[in-house]
Structure 1
Amino acid sequence: MTLMELMVLGLPQVRQPGRLWALLAIPVLLALYLVVLGRRNRTGMRFTNTGILAAVVRPQSQWKRHVAVAMALCSLASVTFAWARPMGTEKVPRERATIVVGIDNSLSMTASDVDPTRLAAAKEQAVTFINSLPAGFNVAVVTVSGHPRVVMPPSTDRATAERAISALGTEEGTAIGDALKESLAAIKQAPGAKDADPVPAAVVLLSDGGNTDGSDPMTQANAAVSAKVPVYTIAFGTSTGYVDVDGQRERVAPDTSLLSKIAQRTKARTWTAESAGDLKQVYQDVHSSVGYEQVKKEITATWAFYALGFAIIAALGVVSMATRWP
């Protein structure tokens, strides 16, 4: 690690790091201050009659001097960073993106632990989520069942997407891996997907169970990583949910572990929702994650403001000592 890397460790990125060499003036000035302070203390010891000295020269608070010097050095450091043109990040709305909404429509989604059923609540909140996205976003809809398929290719037509979601019925099985594979294929169908600089894409996958069919979900998660597509996952339903199949009552708890691993592998977020209200809040959080992006911007003015604040405090300290305020 170079000296420059040590100097900027933990500090903001700057456009012109070469100017940070000015920071070396700070330890030099601090050492000079300590030397002068030591000589001043030794000189003061020559006056043995401290009573007379106190009557002639009013003592000054040492802490004021130290604070003034410290603030002056902090101001110098802040000015140096402002001069080096520091960079920060700002969260701004995306103008374009491709979002694939995966909805589990397996038989377990008929469970009524979520009112009125898991599938009905999931469809309603998915429509609300899609309608909340910017008009320029392409939206695709993929089913998550034993045989996943793209029921709505990427499009900005919200009405068609709503009809596709409303028409979803239940199917047997849950192939999460194949649903991810279909989602990645859908992204490639989006307008501009084959351009040199394609628009960003993301998958929002809702499921209430574990993987029962198809390819390995983690293999497809690795494919999403290669395609630079984050997969946001939602584990929907309660651990006590059940369905009646052929006269047998089966418990259908969401596989939170698998969904969490998929999200973590693709550097995305994962949520759990046990009610329609929870799911509504989750989709709002998803909107904040996929609807915005972090953009780098220069924050020179911020560091200049820090420098001004430190300089004002240092000036007040100097004026206080010069006018012998209490």
Structure 2
Amino acid sequence: MNWQSPARLWLLLGVLALVVGYLAMQRRRSRYAVRFTNLRLLDRVAPQRPAWRRHVPAGLFLAMLALLVVGFARPSAEVRVPRERATVMVAVDVSTSMLANDVDPDRLSAAKEAARRFVDGLPEEFNVGLVAFAGSAAVLVPPSTDREALHEGIERLNEGITGVQGTAIGEAITTSLGAVKSLDGNAAKDPPPARIILLSDGANTSGMDPMEAAAQAVAVKVPVHTISFGTPSGSVDRGGRAIQVPVDGQTLKAVAEETGGRFHEASTTGELQAVYEDIGSSVGYRKERQDISARFIGLGLVFAMGVAAGSLRWFSRLP
């Protein structure tokens, strides 16, 4: 935390002087009470003494003054705020291997549920789009702030929706970049801050080389966060025969490292959700130094109300 007017903090010495004066006054009163030897008469004159309660309003008052001085010094701190026009593209693998049930109930169903929670956790100001990919890639939902349309798009994520078998990671990246460029009329010349979240369970088997697509993402400064989802023992049933589809995250790891994103591995629904939460906590924000004096002034006003309430309750008067 920094101070825009640090010299004003010297006023805290005045608050400290009041604290010292108050303590001295209480000590003087205690000495007077000791010298008042007729205790029976003292009990009749003041049968009920407020004891510790008499110090509460004074303590709150001094705390209020300190908070107001701190606010007067105009403190500032770095605050995370959503980026304007921030865009997040979620690309989900819908190839046949995503039907493997090594993750309950299966990889694709778990990925859909985690994606829903992820987008709901993003600030409303973020534009979020959805890409489905298998042997090719397609934009199911263009980036926008319409969360209802996004939920409907996630619900439509099904195996074979692209009509082409395979896993085209490179195509998923370039398709997502194209969606970012079409965000608005200025996006082509003035690209919005963007991130791509790509989830898959296998290596690239068709379409553009993922590293070529990664180079395009680097050129427009769009990090690609990748998630390798599944276990080595995954399999799908085809005609009564189990086909092994072990997870392969080497390509995804290389893409993330090349673009400045992060690579994650998840083998359970819980792990996948944790990955999405981790990504969501860091994507699309910028740090901005802001004046936070209102926090201290507001707390000081709360203490002032406490002073008034305590004084009315115990002494039947305002301080």
Shorter chain as normaliser: what TM range? Answer: 0.5 to 0.7
The AA in structure 1 aligned to 2:260 is K
* 2:155 is the counterpart of 1:166: yes
C-alpha displacement at 1:195, in angstroms?
Answer: 7.0
C-alpha separation between the residues in 2 aligned to 1:93 and 1:253? 40
Q: Pick from 262, 280, 299 the counterpart of residue 269 of structure 1.
A: 262
State how 1:5-16 maps to structure 2 within 5 Å.
none
* 2:280 is the counterpart of 1:287: yes
Q: Across the two proteins, how many residue pairs are aligned to each other?
A: 211
C-alpha separation between the residues in 1 aligned to 2:258 and 2:109? 29
C-alpha separation between the residues in 2 aligned to 1:156 and 1:267? 25
* Native 8 Å contact 2:93 2:199 kept in 1: yes
* 1:99-152 superposed Cα distances (whole Å, 9 cap, x missing partner): 000011111111111101110010011011011111111111001211210010
The AA in structure 2 aligned to 1:111 is A
Partner of 1:132: 121
* Native 8 Å contact 2:127 2:144 kept in 1: yes
C-alpha separation between the residues in 2 aligned to 1:296 and 1:242? 51
TM-score scaled by length of structure 2: 0.62
- Shift of the 192–208 alpha-carbon distance from structure 1 to 2, 3 Å rule, reads same
* Native 8 Å contact 1:187 1:193 kept in 2: no
* 2:215 is the counterpart of 1:222: yes
- Shift of the 237–193 alpha-carbon distance from structure 1 to 2, 3 Å rule, reads farther
- Shift of the 176–90 alpha-carbon distance from structure 1 to 2, 3 Å rule, reads same
* 2:243 is the counterpart of 1:255: no
Partner of 1:121: 110
The AA in structure 1 aligned to 2:130 is V
Q: Pick from 124, 130, 133 the counterpart of residue 144 of structure 1.
A: 133
Partner of 1:92: 80
State how 1:203-242 maps to structure 2 within 5 Å.
203-242=196-235
Partner of 1:14: none
Q: Point out where structure 2 has 5 or more consecutive residues left out of the alignment.
A: 1-76, 292-319
The AA in structure 1 aligned to 2:203 is G
SS in structure 2 at match of 1:150: strand
C-alpha displacement at 1:191, in angstroms?
Answer: 2.5
- Shift of the 131–185 alpha-carbon distance from structure 1 to 2, 3 Å rule, reads same
SS in structure 2 at match of 1:204: strand
- Shift of the 152–245 alpha-carbon distance from structure 1 to 2, 3 Å rule, reads same
C-alpha displacement at 1:95, in angstroms?
Answer: 3.4
C-alpha displacement at 1:200, in angstroms?
Answer: 0.3
- Shift of the 148–197 alpha-carbon distance from structure 1 to 2, 3 Å rule, reads closer
* 1:52-79 superposed Cα distances (whole Å, 9 cap, x missing partner): xxxxxxxxxxxxxxxxxxxxxxxxxxxx
- Shift of the 197–189 alpha-carbon distance from structure 1 to 2, 3 Å rule, reads closer
- Shift of the 297–237 alpha-carbon distance from structure 1 to 2, 3 Å rule, reads same
Identity of aligned residues (%): 46
The AA in structure 2 aligned to 1:222 is A
* Native 8 Å contact 2:170 2:213 kept in 1: yes
Partner of 1:59: none
SS in structure 2 at match of 1:290: coil
SS in structure 2 at match of 1:116: coil
The AA in structure 1 aligned to 2:183 is A
Q: Point out where structure 1 has 5 or more consecutive residues left out of the alignment.
A: 1-88, 299-326
SS in structure 2 at match of 1:152: strand
Partner of 1:186: 179
Please, what is the CA RMSD of the aligned residues? Answer: 2.1
